[in-house]
Amino acid sequence: AQSVTQLDSHVSVSEGTPVLLRCNYSSSYSPSLFWYVQHPNKGLQLLLKYTSAATLVKGINGFEAEFKKSETSFHLTKPSAHMSDAAEYFCVVSRINDYKLSFGAGTTVTVRA
Amino acid sequence: SQTIHQWPATLVQPVGSPLSLECTVEGTSNPNLYWYRQAAGRGLQLLFYSVGIGQISSEVPQNLSASRPQDRQFILSSKKLLLSDSGFYLCAWSDGQRYEQYFGPGTRLTVT
């Protein structure tokens, strides 16, 4: 079965410093991987996606993620955090054959002024 | 471009009352449609999944049901709400040929 593990439930950073959110995946085939962001009481917004093209994926709002097959990881980074980045982030993997998704437990990001 | 709508945005209902949440998608045809529930402090739980009109797959047995009366309309219902039905309900759609899903703004349901 396909699954993801988000290694940090909570990450706190200072404004202007880098952000790193860690995600490991488990899949018996080459998966599609995604990062979503959710601000309080809002729906989920797609940040970026990996679908077997370039391993370094650039997304919206300055985020990017690198697919590393040897490490089964898909970590999300941003060089400089902004206050508006405070939100919950979900790492997501596609499930085989049925177009459903498996979600990680989420990482809450706090940005300190 | 595609747009997904959900209503109502918030809802407070007593235990035992019925429920109807509606989701509509604009700008695409024959989308896959999904209902998720997000309980406080927990991840997303897929409730129902539909690949076409009248075709509903249930992921977990529960007090809820779903219907798809039109191509771009997805309805979540209950005959009698339980306290445990409280949560944030999200509708999503995807293109049948792609994996990424696009989410609506959600409905906050509080059962009292």
Six-digit token string for B9: 């945005």
- Give the domain CATH number at A10: 2.60.40.10
C-alpha distances (whole Å) from A81 to each of A16, A18, A84 are 5, 6, 8
**Rounded CA separation B11/B109 (Å):** 5
How many domains, chain A? 1
The residue of A6, A25, A36, A44 whose CB has the most chain B CBs within 10 angstroms, and thus the best one to mutate to test that interface, is A44
| CA dihedral over B15, B7, B21, B104, signed as positive or negative | negative
Enumerate the residues of chain A whose CB falls inside 8 A of the CB of residue B3: none
Q: Which of A41, A45, A49 sits opposite B108 (nearest CB)?
A: A41
- Give the domain CATH number at B12: 2.60.40.10
For chain B, what's the residue count? 112
Q: Per the domain annotation, does A111 fall within a domain?
A: no
Q: Which of B88, B99, B106 sits opposite A32 (nearest CB)?
A: B99
How many domains, chain B? 1
Structure confidence at residue B61 (pLDDT):
67
pLDDT at B64 over 80: yes
Q: Per the domain annotation, does A24 fall within a domain?
A: yes
- Domain interval for residue B107: 3-111
| B31 and B51 Cβ atoms separated by less than 8 Å | no
Averaged pLDDT, A22-30: 88
User: Which band of pLDDT confidence, cut at 50, 70 and 90, is reported for residue A96?
Assistant: low
User: Which band of pLDDT confidence, cut at 50, 70 and 90, is reported for residue B99?
Assistant: confident
Pairing mode, strands B107-111 and B10-13 = parallel
pLDDT at A68 over 70: yes
Six-digit token string for A97: 């054959």
The residue of B30, B100, B102, B108 whose CB has the most chain A CBs within 10 angstroms, and thus the best one to mutate to test that interface, is B100
CB–CB contact B94 A90 (8 Å)? no
Q: Per the domain annotation, does A76 fall within a domain?
A: yes
Which residues face B35 on adjacent strands?
A: B48, B91
Structure confidence at residue A78 (pLDDT):
98
Q: Per the domain annotation, does A31 fall within a domain?
A: yes
**Rounded CA separation A44/A42 (Å):** 7
Q: Per the domain annotation, does A71 fall within a domain?
A: yes
- Domain interval for residue A15: 3-83+95-103
Q: Per the domain annotation, does A88 fall within a domain?
A: no
Peptide bond into A31 cis (omega under 30): no
Q: Per the domain annotation, does A30 fall within a domain?
A: yes
**Rounded CA separation A49/A26 (Å):** 16
Q: Per the domain annotation, does A109 fall within a domain?
A: no
Pairing mode, strands B32-38 and B73-78 = unpaired
